[in-house]
Amino acid sequence: MGTAPGGSRVILGVGGGIAAYKVADLLRRLTESGHDVQVVPTEAALNFVGAATWAALSHHPVAADVWTGVEDVPHVQLGRDADLVVIAPATADLLARAAHGLADDLLTNTLLTARCPLLYVPAMHTEMWEHPATVDNVATLRRRGAVVLEPAIGRLTGADTGKGRLPEPDEIARFAELLLANPHALPYDLTRRHVVVSAGGTREPLDPVRFLGNASSGKQGYAIASVAAARGARVTLVAANVELPDPSGTDVVRVGSAVELRDAVHKAAQDADVIVMAAAVADFRPAAMVEHKIKKSDAGPAPIELEENPDILAEVAAARRPGQLVVGFAAETGDSTATVLEHGRAKLARKGCDLLVVNAVGPGKAFGQSHNAGVILGADGSEQVVDYGPKTALAAALWDAVTARIVT
């Protein structure tokens, strides 16, 4: 198994579930990112997607048994050479076999010999996911250091809907890239913690068809929520005008305006351990919404009277309980009066939060992008630079900073 230039060696284990067809898209994403991917399906998986498909997409021969190519000892060598093993879909049966150390096919042998990060992506019916046997098996794998994602909520096989759906391939690929860059990015260290994350940009209506808004896509807030869920937190995601799939393992509350976001955050924050205000909240809103669409006139546009929106971050920080942590975000540009960091440090003091993530914004920076950079400022005077990279990397660095400050 060779490595593509600049890429990593990835084993993609495919379990025998109907969601196997979605894993072909995951394989494409990983190979297009320059990684050398060897697909190792179970025999059951080949009933859903044939070996020819996996071979054509990965450019590697595909086998499920330990006897094919036995002269190369694949049941040992594949795991030893891998930089990451991703198992998707991880069925209830496959999770059970992995937890109990069974080695009756090529994939389970590979799991025993791998010493790299293991990323399990479960997919099954809700009843199977919630069964005590599966719960124990997942806990065993996590205790051993494997990353087991929470399934998504949505349409399952047939007419069923519930928790157990395979997360979207794009989300899985982002976690894979994160673990390849930092094998320690997803410790299971936020269990029994409730975190609230706001994301997106508020819209303040002018009339029935127009609004004041901003360019926030919600991608950074969604990355923060997604990483928190992967690290074991119960996550409430307050999403303002975001057009992204719900991150797996999160409860999403949708809002539109700043006032709606304020109400949702205050409600969710009542029993939260951490509140992360990553949403871009409009500073002002029209003093009154016009009931009918504003028309052009010869006199020109009428002035729009604005009033201030509530300062949600400052409110949450002022109302926090002892031990509750509050994190803010600042999208800044330097000017003649101060640098980006100087503006950020002043905002940290003004808002009264525990941590503030400062982003330099501008054309091609932060808003709407898949990558980001920032500086995590602490009220204790600390300053941590997070280099430019995927937004999940900034999210992981932020949760590292948070967990270091959580009172146990």
Q: Which of 110, 172, 100, 99 is nearest to 138 (CA)?
A: 99
Strand stretches in 216-363, DSSP E: 234-240, 250-255, 274-277, 284-286, 306-308, 325-332, 355-360
Whether residue 214 lies in the annotated active site? yes
Name 356's Cβ contacts closer than 8 Å, sequence gap at least 6.
Answer: 327, 328, 329, 330, 344, 347, 348, 376, 377
Torsion, CA 336, CA 349, CA 255, CA 388, rounded to 10: 60
What the block records as the tokens of 41 is: 């399906």
Q: Is 305 exposed, middle or buried (0-12, 13-18, 19+ CB in 10 A)?
A: exposed
Backbone Cα Rg of the chain: 24
Mark 112-122 as b/e (b = at least 16 C-beta within 10 Å).
ebbebbbbbbb
> Rounded CA gap, 328 and 348, in Å?
8
Catalytic residue among 214, 241, 359, 372: 214
CB under 8 Å to 109, separation ≥6 — which residues? Answer: 66, 75, 76, 79, 103
Q: Could you give the C-alpha distances from 141 to 42, 78, 97, 205, 300, in angstroms and in order?
A: 19, 20, 11, 49, 66
HSE-CB for 226 with a 13 A CA cutoff = 27
Residue type for position 54: W
Which residues form the catalytic set?
214
